[in-house]
Amino acid sequence: MGAAGQRRGLCLCVILVCLEQVAAQIKYSIAEEVKVGTVVGNVARDLGLDVGSLAERRFRIVSGSEGAQFEVNANNGVLFVRKSVDREELCEGVSPCLVRLKLVAENPMEIHHVGVEILDINDNSPTFQEVEKIFEISESTPIGKHFQLPIAHDPDGVVNTVRAYKLNTNEYFNLQIREIGDDKIPFLVIQKSLDREKHAEHRLVLTAFDGGNPPRSGSLNVTVIVLDANDNHPTFKQELHSITLSENVKLGTSVIKVEATDPDEGLNGEVEYYFGGELDSEIYEMFSLDKNTGEIRVKGQIDFEKVDVYKLDVHATDKGHPPTTTDCRVIIKIVDENDNQPEIDVTSLSKTVAEDSKPGTVVSLISVTDKDVGLNGKVICSLSQNVPFELKPSFQDNMYSLVLKDRLDRELVSDYDITITATDCGQPPLSTFQILHVDVSDVNDNIPTFSHDPIQLYLPENNVPGNSIFSVTAFDKDLNENAALTYHIKRGQGSQVDMSTFLSINPENGDISALKSFDFETLKSFQFQVSATDGGSPPLSGNVTVKVFILDQNDNAPVILYPLSSNGSARGARRFPAMPKRETR
């Protein structure tokens, strides 16, 4: 390459010396990093020097450190590489990279300027200053948002420096390059919505390529940490729980534990539980809900007979801002326990039963109920023994009629206490009883009776007319009107005169008065009947025969009808009638 040098005069030399800073006489170019000993060119020949005298004239390079990489062979004038040449070390940022060499030969003194251009080779890769780049990006960041990435450096020359960037293929991010002057600045662009719950972290690799052939590259690990947004609501593992619970369970018994999960992070994923606000206030009294664990416990007295099913709405809410919620439903069916004894309800048709009622007469209607269900409801009814009644099931469930089984006799038993017992079939069985009092009402079925019949009465003659001489009393087992007696004197029997004209009777108490004074000498005895009649309807009567014997008194002066014998016996001289033997009981 270099132009052939001409031997020049001193003055030219002076001119050359003056120009040495400006231009070289010859210019070579070699690539950097060539091997030590590589020939750059034959300087002597190119400068037109006599090769044979070079050694003698001490032909050499005199430039300072700049020329340290090169050496000239004084025997043949060849310029060669003495030390490996690194273009980037020699002229960082300067292009083209020209090394100026000053060569001298003595006798006569000659100075020559030779330029060696160090040509760039692609011996450097792009590099990033950072070891790693970390972004923290919220998952709610919109698509299209840009984030500036670090730029890579490559000290190689224009062609061999950083020319392109690439991002590893991934669905969430792509790369955009902005050219600002000569610089290419890479940007990370969100191209798909981030979802922390799917990918909490993205590991990307940014690669910078230079323009060499083949190109060299350098990489940077780019990590995107996705920050949580409250974009998930809690979800229950089960939306409907249907469970059973025995009534009368102890307070504090655990009923169920509902569980909701929220994949969000931190407070956004912390779940609390509450009862739905639309619930019956009673539910708050019956159940408690642990807001942290979701456990529902019994708080009140569970009574199947009051409420047999509870429907609870449970909200799960996270602690995000704003929070998100979700619901589930818990249906608690209460299971009956045999905790209620049967109840007996007696509908009496009448409190009294007539004693002449026929067997089969319905006395009462009895309904038996039990608040419990199932076998706990099922009730069996029984009656006390030894009563003339029986229970007959009715067409209706749990209805019985109390029916007369035998004939009644009020005069034997005037009232009954009937014990009705109802027993359910629960375990253990519960029973209850009720006593039904039934009075037997009277019927006029008894005749008035006198304690003696006939009655014999001894009445001294000469009684005072109008005085009470005797009293009769009858008895009637019946009651009240049916036993209310009135007395009457009946007409005498046979040919005898009607004694009712001689006697009167108090119809209420049976006191008999004589209306005349009897005379033994005229009438020694007579009989009559007294009847006692009750107030029944129809009335019944009983009779008694009263036999009256008049007793003689000494009311007559002796009358001599014929001479008396010594021993005094005479006709009609008997002073007393023969006394009939008196009946005794």
Question: Interface residues with ligand NAG (CB under 6 A)?
Answer: 131-132, 203, 221, 531, 542-543, 565-567
Question: Which residue shows structure tokens 């004939």?
Answer: 407
Rounded to a whole number of angstroms, the minimum distance from the CB of residue 480 to ligand NAG is: 22
CB of 567 to ligand NAG, least distance (A): 4
User: Measured from the CB atom, is 119 or 200 closer to ligand NAG?
Assistant: 200
What is the separation of C-alpha 577 from the centre of its chain, rounded to a whole number of angstroms? 112
Whose tokens are 């690990």? That residue is: 221
CB of 470 to ligand NAG, least distance (A): 19
**Alpha carbon distance 135, 510 (integer Å):** 132
Per DSSP bridges, beta strands 379-383 and 132-138 are unpaired
- Based on CB atoms, which residue is closest to ligand NAG, 213 or 567? 567
DSSP line for 461-523? SSPPTTSEEEE--EE-SS-GGGG--EEEEEPPSTTS--GGGTEEE-TTT-EEEESS---TTT-
Nearer to ligand NAG, 522 or 565 (CB): 565
d(CA 2, CA 143): 61
| In the block, residue with structure tokens 């102890």 | 250
Q: How far, CA to CA in Å, does 483 sit from each of 351, 372, 431?
A: 22, 52, 44
Task: Say if CB 291 and CB 273 are below 8 A apart.
Answer: yes
CB of 529 to ligand NAG, least distance (A): 7
Least distance CB 537 / ligand NAG (angstroms): 18
The Cα 294–Cα 274 span in angstroms is: 8
Specify whether the CB–CB gap between 96 and 183 falls below 8 A.
no
Question: For ligand NAG, which is the closer residue by CB, 31 or 447?
Answer: 447
Shortest spacing between CB 459 and ligand NAG, in angstroms: 23
Instruction: Give the whole-angstrom CA distance, residue 211 versus residue 158.
Output: 8
- Residue 289 or 532: which CB sits closer to ligand NAG? 532
Position 6, amino acid: Q
**Minimum separation from the CB atom of position 489 to ligand NAG (A):** 12
Q: Give min distance, CB of 170 to ligand NAG, in A.
A: 14
**Per-residue CA distances from 297 to 92, 251, 283, 310 (Å):** 79, 8, 11, 13
**Phi, psi for residue 60 in degrees, rounded to 5:** -160, 170
Give alpha helix (H) positions in 342-490: none
Q: Which helix (H) or strand (E) holds 81?
A: strand 78-81
Pick 423 or 533: Cβ nearer ligand NAG:
533
Of 518, 527, 520, which is closest to residue 574 (Cα–Cα)?
520
Please identify, using beta-carbon distances, which residue of 253 and 493 lies nearer to ligand NAG: 493
Rounded least distance, CB 220 to ligand NAG, Å: 8
Task: Work out how close the CB of 564 gets to ligand NAG at its nearest, in angstroms, rounded to a whole number.
Answer: 9
* Cβ closest to ligand NAG, residue 69 vs residue 531: 531
- Smallest separation (angstroms) from ligand NAG to the CB of 540: 9
Q: ∠ CA(480), CA(484), CA(485), 5° rounding?
A: 160
What is the secondary structure of 285-344 as a DSSP string?
A: HHEEE-TTT-EEEE-S---TTT-SEEEEEEEEEE-SSS--EEEEEEEEEEEP-S----EE
Q: Which is nearer to ligand NAG, 221 or 432 (CB)?
A: 221
Least gap, CB of 449 to ligand NAG (angstroms)? 8
Which residue, 5 or 536, is less far from ligand NAG as judged by CB?
536
Facing residues of 135 across strands?
A: 224
User: Distance from CA of residue 148 to its chain's centroid?
Assistant: 54
CA atoms within 13 A on the CB side of 53: 11
Residue closer to ligand NAG by CB (options 154, 231) is 154
Nearest CB to ligand NAG, comparing residues 252 and 494: 494
